[in-house]
Chain A
């Protein structure tokens, strides 16, 4: 009798768990959701490990969120025959990653640095924490963690409910949006439809986001919130000079090893673009990056083919525009910047 007690409990547990998982997964699929991946340290480290490929086989991309939306990786692959290694991180400065690549003697490839001025020139240490955490994860990843990542990848590629940012216990509790006390800072929520992350770390807006202005307004509301809490004025004078010197040093290290560095200013529109022009005038920031580092750059406003986009929430391209942007970006790199993609015809 004793031994049957736990057996019956175990069988009941298995049945209930299986029923819940199947039901929950079917429900999420019925809502039109697709597979997405947790964009945490493990996925980032998986991409970071790929940077050592020869420069004619891959290009590395770093930046904040824009390049994650705007670079359509399948289009890049088709047109260049090369891999796109996406190391950019939403809401964060790319400079810790630039430092890391510069310090890594084995990295000698092509690097594209996307500049979102508010984050590139940030003085807020909070915008540097996550990149440093990911770099730490990459450097200290154990064989066990690598194996777990592979197993997790197998499961994540099959189950929609394995979406920590949107369907974990913590995410459900955050969505309750219980009012906070005055003075408490809480990160605003972004709608799930704003971006689904692929295994290559590309962010893609869902169709529902593109047609639902409420969702778009939720995101523009978040941009306004971030602008309102930004107390520090943009870096200038000596502070800006030492900042640019540090960037230059990193670029020089990479170039000295045979690598290439190119800066890109991806599109923004509406009030966001107006605010950026006012807060970070081009001649004081973007132009100075290029002249200080002596690196080439592609600014979206310099090329008619990529200066006309209207971002649904002022800051990131819709998927169809990302394809057009990527096609034109490749052409600009080849025709204007002298880049060649030797495997272009291999596909």
Chain B
């Protein structure tokens, strides 16, 4: 079920009513669980079985991991859990990709091998709920927290509908305790939750779908070279689209959970205002980067095994992070670019931190780079006064980071390397025969939305929407809320899937 659909609106209204009726807490949890299964099943009913399998197996394996004293049996149980979860993910997500590459390899060495193409449907959200259950079993192995007492609470932790299909990826200590005591939203939480749901839908439906997606699709789907401005606007359109689409989903998820009285972790923190890539990964898909740090980067050794090994660990983490997004070598290259940027940043970082971590950053899990933000300031006397200001230098560095991020998005969005190369050459060179593609109205739409996005990110980088809304006058909040909802109603976009549903 999509958040941006009438079905979800009807479903959510029913859920809110049921959750606020005077039922016992256990009945409410059962309601939430059944609703979450319905939420998933209306996409493709048979795949509920996979979700059940994952839930039941990991509940019992998790408990066994915690209670088992024999070191070897514990390791065996962990391996079984990893094989089960990752095996399922690999089959559904990478089965076709692995076979394709195997066939190419065989053909390259002269073996004539042409198997039938498998028709594997990728279950929605498998990457997300697999990582959620893996969190649990690995934490049980490390005994980081106690096992979840009831199957009901565990099943609800895995399938809670706001985060089920596209995150945020939640850890057991973040959500399970919330199921142990009755909770429902008070008036403030309900209204703030509805505000966030409105904002999330506005980001997805108005900004991502109505304003940006057609330009991005046109540019990335064009079979020939383009004029530089068209190529750049198409890539910028995609950078906006993927942010508004994915962050919009996360905001909807957080808002929907808030309306029910639950708190989900923040997943985006104005990433296009990031200064450097360590900062970027503290702001973009925060729960994924934290998961990769805690369950991949640190177990590999993190930065505790010398400089060279740190770079290797960074690259492995980012390469696998790229591959997580999809079964295509372009995602691996996307991950490799981010890994390279992090490595270069680490190489040139000053040895001492020259800037304190702000209070907001202290509470946010650090990224694989594990480095506090540092800013290299220059005080060249020939620079104009406005460029010498720290604020302006930071802003320019943020723009430079945004520029580099856009280069990586070319690989992320392109279906193949031919398209990626064609776009990059159009962006950075004057290609003969480069065609003008985008209509003027689309160029204006993309430009206005991207400038609005970058500016908003910059001014909001150290705060949150709800903090700003609390400080603003109530009628300004009302007007902003009205504007978002009116544009949402007027956009009348059809229910298009969220980009991250395919991951």
Contact = CB atoms under 8 A, between A and B. Distances in A.
Contact of A6 (B5, B188, B441, B492): B188
Contact of B435 (A145, A173, A174, A183): A183
Contacts of A229: none
B74 to A, nearest CB: 41
- Main secondary structure, interface of A, reads helix
Contact of B492 (A2, A20, A142, A164): A164
A177 B194 CA distance: 36
A6 B489 contact: no
Contact of A145 (B194, B470, B495): B495
Contacts of A155: 6
A3 B475 CA distance: 14
A233 to B, nearest CB: 22
Interface residues of A, number: 48
A155 B489 CA distance: 12
Given A142-B43, A167-B490, A180-B439, A2 B481 contact: no
A178 B210 CA distance: 18
A152 interface: yes
A151 interface: yes
A177 B500 CA distance: 34
A151 B9 CA distance: 10
A21 B489 contact: yes
A235 to B, nearest CB: 22
A5 B42 contact: no
A49 interface: no
Contacts of A180: 439-440
A237 interface: no
B7 A144 contact: yes
A10 B44 contact: no
B340 interface: no
Nearest to A177: B441
B323 interface: no
Contacts of A183: 435-436
A17 B494 contact: no
Interface in A159-182: 162-164, 167-170, 172-174, 176, 178-182
B42 A142 contact: yes
Contacts of B42: 142-144, 147
Interface in B439-494: 439-441, 444-445, 469-470, 474-475, 477-479, 481-482, 485-487, 489-494
A164 B495 CA distance: 13
Contacts of A167: 490, 492
B6 A184 contact: no
A285 B42 CA distance: 47
Contacts of A9: 191, 195, 469, 474-475, 477-478, 481
B201 to A, nearest CB: 14
B206 interface: yes
A278 interface: no
B436 A181 contact: yes
Nearest to A152: B6
A172 B206 CA distance: 13
A204 to B, nearest CB: 21
Nearest to A41: B494
Interface in A203-248: none
Contacts of A163: 492
Contacts of B192: 6
Contact of A12 (B188, B475, B491): B475
Interface string A34-65: 00001011100000000000000000000000
A173 B481 contact: no
A8 interface: yes
A36 B194 CA distance: 31
B474 A5 contact: yes
A151 B10 contact: yes
A148 B444 contact: no
B494 A181 contact: no
B2 interface: yes
A57 to B, nearest CB: 30
A186 interface: yes
A241 B487 CA distance: 51
A28 interface: no
Contacts of B441: 173-174, 176, 178
Given A7-B191, A10-B194, A144 B5 contact: yes
A151 B6 contact: yes
Contacts of A7: 187, 191
Contacts of A16: 478-479, 482, 486
Nearest to A151: B6
B7 A6 contact: no
Given A9-B474, A148-B5, A20 B188 contact: no
Interface string B176-216: 00000000001110011011000000000010001000000
Given A9-B469, A11-B478, A184-B440, 17 more contacts: A2-B188, A10-B195, A12-B474, A12-B478, A17-B489, A38-B494, A42-B494, A143-B45, A144-B2, A144-B5, A147-B7, A151-B7, A176-B441, A180-B439, A180-B440, A183-B435, A184-B436
29 contacts: A3-B191, A4-B474, A5-B470, A6-B469, A8-B475, A9-B475, A9-B477, A9-B481, A10-B195, A10-B478, A12-B474, A13-B481, A13-B485, A16-B482, A17-B489, A20-B482, A142-B42, A143-B45, A144-B1, A144-B7, A145-B495, A147-B10, A163-B492, A167-B490, A180-B439, A181-B440, A183-B435, A184-B439, A186-B439
The 10 closest A-B pairs by CB, nearest first: A12-B478, A6-B191, A144-B42, A151-B6, A9-B477, A9-B478, A168-B492, A164-B492, A16-B482, A8-B474
Interface of A: 2-13, 16-17, 20-21, 38, 40-42, 142-145, 147-148, 151-152, 155, 162-164, 167-170, 172-174, 176, 178-184, 186
